[in-house]
Each structure stands twice: as structure tokens, then as C-alpha cells.
């Protein structure tokens, strides 16, 4: 169940039971969440989960079919231009064409948004390594994205709504972007960003909402995701049958994806562990281990597990489609 | 302090290349067609040539008055090549203003800023209007300059009235394209509708002039409203001008309403 929206006065964005239908197809099935002022909130989910739809609703580009939303204390449907001047928006698919330089285009957007401090555009462009005097249609995808970011940040809006902000950016610029997000937060600005990759969001966000098929699977802090994250465990043991080893491990709370293969006179076993380590160790202590690898938790995978929770009927069945990811990183853990 | 009319300025300035291109095209046709009048329309042989053509064709092409200077200007410039060029320009601008911008994905970002949708439609319609007025003014001035040398014998007040009708006729196609673009978010529908008004207006006029049985078609033809009484020779029908401009204005207003009431970019 999604958490009920909290105290709206302290929230930059409050969404309650928002649904959106395109024709007969409902793409948002009553989602609710709140974003505290001054926080960085990430929404992740696979393509088509509804991330862009939510963001467009908050900017009144499209209108929700039902539900409520409050942005910076106002109803986006009714508030009009004055509210949108307080928001910086980066669309998920950015199209900038036309026979116009980046500088002129930004000057146009400055005319229709909040006031831009003198020198602000140049300093942002310099940070991101963007040449403002080139024609926009000749810019590469990454450079267009930089222009889009400058456009969103330049008037120091109270709220930044950034749809897939790091798409097309090289890793160095991504780091610069993260620094800009942290500065915005230090500045008291609220940031709402989306991604289909958790690793992009986890570095920047305090809280993450996971959206799948138009529903919020969970809203969690990055820390709690980390705690609930899944580890991979692998070992070989001698002097035990596959059936016995399987039965033994299956009793450990949080074990999933159990695979047991015969190896010599013993077994080779791999599994995931979603719970505490101690119960596993107690079981392992009774075995003749010849090798043991217990990996660091993989946040990405724990999120995929959550996607799977909706699709299947529990963590253990998350891999019903057979697309389970087994990333084996040697040299980690013990 | 913010500079006024940001969307209008962007729409107007962004397209100055295209405006200049259309201006060059119109000027070239004027300089090619009109100086030929003394040797074509005004020559004594022309009447003989005209008599040899089937009268239906003469009527369809509006060549019935072609042996007079005003009739020649009406038939060639305002009725045919100028009408064609201006309609194409206006339809292209109208369809691009909202439908094209939305289809290319750029309207979404504009609307995420401090503007209303009504403002977007009105400022962009204003940019189309200004470009149409500039081009029609150019046509007016050039024809006026050529009147003596090409022996066209056109009265300036009639030329002015015709220019008002010409601009209104052009705006009607352009605002139709704007409207369909604003309703559907698709440039193609805007182009089809705007071109449809221009082409059907022309065809209904050509057919409607053939006989009494089908002259009701003329009532459906904006082209006929504007040009039926040969305004270059006889002066403008101001009621027709009122209809052309009034319907155009109404279509712009409806475009604003349509865009304000729907989702963008879906």
C-alpha cells in the first residue's frame, strides 16, 4: 500500500489517488505520494511505468482523470503561469530544433520563466561544458540534454521536476549534474527526478518511489532499500547430498533463487539472501565448506525484486520469467 | 522587467528566413507577370485568343476580365499565383504554430513555463498575421509601383481593398490550419484542413461560375466571397472582407479554447 500523503504544508508535492486514462487505457491507477520541501525524491520504474505521466500532470501539460495534486501549495490545474515560473522542468524527451543558438533559446525561456540571475546561464553552461553559441539543431543528444538542464536550473526554481535528467550525459557530466542537485538541495530547493536505473537515483535521492505499471510499489529511503537489499550467496560443500543441502538452506529466512548442483562428493549451491546474515551463518557452520562467497547487497537487484513482487506473488517467485540476474562479482565479501 | 510578447517574438524572429523567402517569391512573380500585361492581356490579339477558348475554361480561370489591367492583375496575381503562394505560406505557418510544435515535442517545454495556452495560440496567431500583412503589403506596394509602367490602370483604393480581401482570404486558410493543429496536435491535419479551404474554395468558385444551377457553390467558396465582383476593377466588397476576417478571428479564438481543454503531447 502506498503511504498516505503526509502533512501537505511541509510538502512541495502532494499527490493523492491520482489516476490517468488515455482513452480506455488507464496508465496511472490511483497513485499517492508526498515530497517534503527541500528533499530530493526519485521515482524509478521501467519504461511505460507512468513516471513521465505523473510529471506531466504536475505541470498541467496533461490533466489527471481523477485524484488530487498540490504543487508548492497550489493546484497545478488552476494555478497557471505563476506556479510554473517557480518550477524548472526537464522533459523526458527533449526536442530542441530551430535555427537558433543555445544562448538565444535560453534567453527565450528566461522570458517565460522566473527571473534569471545575471551570469547564471554562463556559469551553468561552463560547469556542464556546453557551447551556447552553437545552433541547437546541430547539438548532439548529450549537449541538447545539457541545454535542457541549464533551462531547468537557471532561474533557481523552488521545485525542479527532471524526467530522466542524466539520459545522454557522459559519466563526468553526470557527476556534475549530481553536484548541481546537491547544491539545489542545500539551497532549499526541492528536486523530483526520475530514472529507469536506480544507480542514477540512489546517489542523489533521499527517498525513492518505485513505480510499476501505473502503481507505486513502494516508497522507501535509499538507506532502507539498502537494508532490505538482496545479497548473493554461493558456496561449495562436501559430504552432503543436493537434497539435504537444499532442504537445509530452504529453512533460512529470506533465502530465494536456490540452485543446488552436485559437485564431486558434495554440492555447489547458489542463492539470494533477503534477510539477516546470522541465521544463514548458523546453518553454514554445520557444513564442510570448501568455498564461500557472500556478496555485498545489490540495490539495483533489490529493486528489480520489488518489480517482481508485483508480477509474481512474492520474492521467491520473482524470477518466474526466467530473467533473473546473477551478477557474480568475485573478490567481494567472504 | 520582462520583454513583452515573448512567444510572438520567438515565432516571428525564428521564421524570418522563411518570410524573406516567400517575399522574394511573391516579388519575383509580380515582376514576371505584371510587366507582361501590355503584350498579353492588353494586346488586341488577346481578345481573339480568348474568344477561341471554351467559355467554361475562361470562367474557371477567371480570365473573363483579363483584357483589362485590373482584370489581368486580379486573375493572375490575386486570383492565381499570389493566392497559391500566400495560401501555402499561411497554411504552413498555421499548421506549424501549434500542431507542428506539439508533434515535434517542443510545445510541451514551452507550456511547462510561465505561459498560458491561450497566450501561446494568440501570440503565434499574431506572428502569422504580421507575416501575412507584411507580404500582402509588399504585393500592394509592388503592384502600385508597376501600375504605370505596366499600363495596368489600377485605382489605388481598389488595390488596397483587394489587398485587404487577399490578406483575409489567406488568413482564413492559415487560421483553419492553426485550428485543426490545435484540436488534433497533428501538423498533417492542419495542413490538410487549411489547404482544403483554399483548394475547395477555388474549385467551388470555378464550378459555381459555370451555370445558374450550381452557383450556390459560390456561397461556400471564400475565394468567391473575396473576388466575385472583381475587386481590383470595382473595389472591395467590405462585407465579404468582414466575413473573411471575422471567421479567421473566430477560428483563432476556438484554437485557444481547444488547446486549453486538452492534454498536450500524448
User: What does the pLDDT average to over A39-60?
Assistant: 92
Predicted confidence at residue B54, as pLDDT, reads: 86
Tell me, yes or no, if A111 comes closer than 8 A to chain B by beta carbon: yes
Return the DSSP state at B99: I
Predicted confidence at residue B43, as pLDDT, reads: 79
Nearest to A62 among B3, B10, B264 (CB): B264
Return the DSSP state at B230: -
User: What does the pLDDT average to over A183-210?
Assistant: 89
Closest Cα to residue A193, out of A148, A256, A143, A258?
A148
Tell me, yes or no, if B105 comes closer than 8 A to chain A by beta carbon: yes
Q: Show me where the domains of chain A are located.
A: 8-226, 230-294
Predicted confidence at residue B65, as pLDDT, reads: 81
Return the DSSP state at B64: G
User: What does the pLDDT average to over A266-270?
Assistant: 92
CB contact under 8 A, A56 and B116: no
User: What does the pLDDT average to over A24-45?
Assistant: 94
What does the alpha-carbon distance between residue A219 and residue A208 come to, in Å, rounded to a whole number? 6
Q: Does the pLDDT value for residue B217 go beyond 80? A: yes
Predicted confidence at residue B2, as pLDDT, reads: 66
Residues A136-174: tens digit of each pLDDT: 988 999 999 999 999 999 999 999 999 999 999 999 999
Minimum CA–CA partner of B115 in chain A: A81
User: What does the pLDDT average to over A175-184?
Assistant: 95
Which tops the pLDDT comparison, A99 or B36? B36
Which range has the worst mean pLDDT, A292-296, B102-106, B154-158? Answer: A292-296
Q: Does the pLDDT value for residue B46 go beyond 60? A: yes
What is the helix (H) or strand (E) element at residue B146, kind and residue range? helix B117-149
Predicted confidence at residue A186, as pLDDT, reads: 96
Predicted confidence at residue B129, as pLDDT, reads: 98
Predicted confidence at residue A315, as pLDDT, reads: 38
Q: How far is CA A153 from the centre of its chain?
A: 20
For chain B, what percent of residues have pLDDT higher than 90? 81
Nearest to B104 among A56, A97, A113 (CB): A97
What is the per-residue DSSP string for A31-77? EEEEEETT-EEEEE--TTSSHHHHHHHHTTSS--SEEEEEETTB-HH
Q: How far is CA B70 from the centre of its chain?
A: 19
Cell of A193: 527526478
Nearest to B114 among A82, A94, A98 (CB): A82
| C-alpha pair distances (Å), A140 with each of A133, B25, B77 | 14, 34, 45
| C-alpha pair distances (Å), B166 with each of A239, B132, B135, B145, B238 | 97, 10, 11, 18, 12
Predicted confidence at residue A122, as pLDDT, reads: 96
What is the per-residue DSSP string for A224-293? HHHHT-BEEEEEEEES--HHHHHHHHHTSTTEEEEEEEEETTEEEEEEEE-S-SHHHHHHHHTSEEEEEE
CB contact under 8 A, B264 and A61: yes
Residue A118 neighbours by CB under 8 Å, 6+ apart = none
Q: Does the pLDDT value for residue A329 go beyond 50? A: no
Tell me, yes or no, if A63 comes closer than 8 A to chain B by beta carbon: yes
What does the alpha-carbon distance between residue A92 and residue A45 come to, in Å, rounded to a whole number? 14
First to last CA, chain B: 35
User: What does the pLDDT average to over A302-322?
Assistant: 48
Q: Which CATH superfamily is domain A230-294 in?
A: ACT domain (3.30.70.260)
Predicted confidence at residue B5, as pLDDT, reads: 92
Cell of B75: 486573375
Torsion angle, CA of A262/A266/A268/A269, rounded to 10 degrees? 100
Predicted confidence at residue B52, as pLDDT, reads: 83
ipTM of this predicted structure: 0.88
For chain B, what percent of residues have pLDDT higher than 70? 99
Residue numbers of A between 75 and 104 with CB closer than 8 Å to B: 80-82, 84-85, 87, 89, 91, 93-100
Predicted confidence at residue A306, as pLDDT, reads: 65
CB contact under 8 A, B112 and A97: no
What does the alpha-carbon distance between residue A5 and residue B37 come to, in Å, rounded to a whole number? 78
CB contact under 8 A, A91 and B109: yes
Predicted confidence at residue A260, as pLDDT, reads: 92
For chain A, what percent of residues have pLDDT higher than 70? 87
Minimum CA–CA partner of B114 in chain A: A81
Which range has the worst mean pLDDT, B8-12, B65-69, B194-198? Answer: B65-69
Predicted confidence at residue A51, as pLDDT, reads: 94
Q: Does the pLDDT value for residue A318 go beyond 60? A: no
Per-residue pLDDT band at A326 (split at 50, 70, 90): very low
Which range has the worst mean pLDDT, A56-60, A65-69, B209-213, B239-243? Answer: B209-213
Which range has the worst mean pLDDT, A177-186, A303-312, B220-229, B254-263? Answer: A303-312
Per-residue pLDDT band at A110 (split at 50, 70, 90): very high
Q: Are A134 and A125 in contact (CB under 8 A)?
A: no
Torsion angle, CA of A77/A78/A81/A87, rounded to 10 degrees? -50
Q: Does the pLDDT value for residue B33 go beyond 80? A: yes
Per-residue pLDDT band at A44 (split at 50, 70, 90): confident
Predicted confidence at residue A307, as pLDDT, reads: 65
Do β-strands A159-162 and A87-90 pair in parallel, antiparallel, or remain unpaired? parallel
CB contact under 8 A, B114 and A95: no
Q: Which chain B residues are closer than 8 Å to A97 by Cβ? A: 104, 106
What does the alpha-carbon distance between residue B244 and residue A229 come to, in Å, rounded to a whole number? 68
Residues A208-263: tens digit of each pLDDT: 998 989 999 888 888 777 777 778 899 999 999 999 999 999 889 889 889 999 98
Instruction: Tell me the residue length of chain B.
Output: 266
Q: Which chain B residues are closer than 8 Å to A94 by Cβ? A: 105, 109
User: What does the pLDDT average to over B106-117?
Assistant: 96
Residue A322 neighbours by CB under 8 Å, 6+ apart = none
Q: How far is B111 from chain A (nearest CA, A)?
A: 7
CB contact under 8 A, A62 and B3: no
CATH number of A8-226: 3.40.50.300
The total of other beta-carbon atoms located within 10 Å of residue A321's CB is 9
First to last CA, chain A: 36
What does the alpha-carbon distance between residue A111 and residue B13 come to, in Å, rounded to a whole number? 15
Q: How far is B261 from chain A (nearest CA, A)?
A: 9
Per-residue pLDDT band at A3 (split at 50, 70, 90): very low
Residue A175 neighbours by CB under 8 Å, 6+ apart = none
Predicted confidence at residue A6, as pLDDT, reads: 54
What is the per-residue DSSP string for B196-208? HHHHHHHHHHHHH
Helix (H, G, I), strand (E, B) or coil at B28: helix
User: What does the pLDDT average to over B73-93?
Assistant: 95
CB contact under 8 A, A112 and B3: no
User: What does the pLDDT average to over B71-86?
Assistant: 94
Q: Does the pLDDT value for residue A78 go beyond 60? A: yes
Q: Does the pLDDT value for residue A322 go beyond 60? A: no
What does the alpha-carbon distance between residue A162 and residue A145 come to, in Å, rounded to a whole number? 11
Predicted confidence at residue B48, as pLDDT, reads: 81
Which tops the pLDDT comparison, B102 or B66? B102
Residue numbers of B between 185 and 244 with CB closer than 8 Å to A: none
Which range has the worst mean pLDDT, B32-41, B83-92, B195-204? Answer: B32-41
User: What does the pLDDT average to over A97-118?
Assistant: 90
Nearest to A81 among B14, B104, B116 (CB): B116
CB contact under 8 A, A61 and B114: no
CB contact under 8 A, A87 and B112: yes
Which range has the worst mean pLDDT, A38-42, A270-274, B50-54, B137-141? Answer: B50-54
Amino acid at each position: 500500500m502506498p503511504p498516505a500523503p503526509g502533512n501537505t504544508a511541509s510538502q512541495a508535492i502532494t499527490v493523492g489517488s491520482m489516476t490517468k486514462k488515455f482513452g480506455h487505457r488507464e496508465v496511472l491507477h490511483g497513485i499517492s505520494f508526498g515530497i517534503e520541501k527541500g528533499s530530493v525524491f526519485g521515482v524509478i520504474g521501467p519504461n511505460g511505468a507512468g513516471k513521465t505521466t505523473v510529471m506531466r500532470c504536475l505541470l498541467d501539460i496533461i490533466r489527471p482523470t481523477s485524484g488530487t495534486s498540490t504543487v508548492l501549495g497550489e493546484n497545478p490545474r488552476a494555478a497557471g503561469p505563476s506556479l510554473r515560473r517557480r518550477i524548472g522542468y526537464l522533459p523526458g524527451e527533449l526536442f530542441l530544433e530551430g535555427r537558433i543558438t543555445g544562448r538565444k533559446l535560453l534567453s527565450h525561456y528566461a522570458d517565460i520563466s522566473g527571473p534569471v540571475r545575471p551570469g547564471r546561464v554562463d556559469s551553468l553552461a561552463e560547469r556542464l561544458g556546453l557551447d551556447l553559441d552553437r545552433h541547437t539543431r546541430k547539438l548532439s543528444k548529450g549537449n541538447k540534454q545539457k541545454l535542457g538542464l541549464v533551462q531547468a536550473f537557471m532561474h533557481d526554481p523552488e521545485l525542479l521536476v527532471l524526467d530522466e535528467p542524466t539520459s545522454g550525459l557522459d559519466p563526468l557530466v553526470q557527476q556534475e549534474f549530481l553536484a548541481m542537485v546537491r547544491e539545489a538541495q542545500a539551497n532549499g530547493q526541492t528536486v523530483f527526478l526520475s530514472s529507469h536505473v536506480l544507480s542514477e537515483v540512489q546517489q542523489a535521492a533521499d527517498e525513492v518511489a518505485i513505480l510499476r505499471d501505473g502503481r507505486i510499489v513502494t516508497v522507501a529511503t535509499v538507506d532502507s532499500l539498502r537494508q532490505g537489499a538482496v545479497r548473493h550467496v554461493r558456496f561449495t560443500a562436501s559430504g552432503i547430498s543436493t537434497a539435504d543441502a537444499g532442504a537445509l538452506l530452504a529453512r533460512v529466512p529470506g533465502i530465494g533463487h536456490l540452485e543446488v548442483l552436485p559437485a564431486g562428493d558434495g554440492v555447489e549451491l547458489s542463492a539470494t539472501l533477503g534477510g539477516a546474515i546470522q541465521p544463514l551463518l548458523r546453518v553454514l557452520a554445520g557444513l564442510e565448506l570448501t568455498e564461500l562467497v557472500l556478496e555485498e547487497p545489490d540495490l539495483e537487484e533489490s529493486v528489480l525484486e520489488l518489480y517482481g513482487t508485483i508480477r509474481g506473488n512474492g520474492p521467491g517467485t520473482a524470477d518466474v520469467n526466467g530473467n533473473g540476474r546473477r551478477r557474480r562479482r568475485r573478490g567481494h565479501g567472504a | 522587467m520582462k520583454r513583452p510578447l515573448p512567444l510572438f517574438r520567438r515565432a516571428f524572429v525564428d521564421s524570418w528566413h522563411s518570410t524573406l523567402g516567400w517575399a522574394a517569391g511573391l516579388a519575383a512573380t509580380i515582376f514576371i507577370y505584371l510587366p507582361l500585361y501590355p503584350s498579353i492581356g492588353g494586346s488586341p490579339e488577346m481578345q481573339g485568343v480568348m474568344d477561341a477558348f471554351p467559355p467554361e475554361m475562361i470562367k474557371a480561370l477567371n480570365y473573363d476580365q483579363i483584357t483589362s489591367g485590373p482584370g489581368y492583375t486580379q486573375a493572375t496575381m490575386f486570383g492565381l499565383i499570389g493566392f497559391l503562394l500566400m495560401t501555402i505560406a499561411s497554411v504552413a505557418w498555421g499548421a506549424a504554430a501549434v500542431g507542428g510544435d506539439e508533434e515535434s515535442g517542443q510545445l510541451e517545454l514551452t507550456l511547462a513555463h510561465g505561459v498560458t495556452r491561450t497566450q501561446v495560440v494568440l501570440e503565434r496567431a499574431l506572428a502569422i498575421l504580421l507575416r501575412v500583412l507584411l507580404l500582402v503589403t509588399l504585393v500592394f506596394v509592388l503592384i502600385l509601383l508597376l501600375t504605370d509602367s505596366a499600363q495596368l490602370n489600377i485605382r489605388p483604393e481598389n488595390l488596397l481593398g483587394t489587398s485587404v480581401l487577399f490578406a483575409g482570404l489567406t488568413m482564413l486558410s492559415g487560421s483553419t490550419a492553426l485550428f485543426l493543429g490545435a484540436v488534433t496536435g497533428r501538423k498533417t491535419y492542419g495542413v490538410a484542413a487549411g489547404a482544403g479551404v483554399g483548394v475547395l474554395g477555388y474549385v467551388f468558385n470555378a464550378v459555381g461560375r459555370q451555370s445558374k444551377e450550381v452557383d450556390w457553390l459560390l456561397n461556400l467558396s471564400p475565394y468567391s466571397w473575396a473576388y466575385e465582383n472583381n475587386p481590383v476593377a470595382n473595389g472591395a466588397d467590405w462585407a465579404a472582407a468582414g466575413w473573411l476576417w471575422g471567421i479567421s478571428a473566430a477560428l483563432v479564438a476556438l484554437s485557444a479554447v481547444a488547446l486549453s481543454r486538452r492534454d498536450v503531447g500524448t
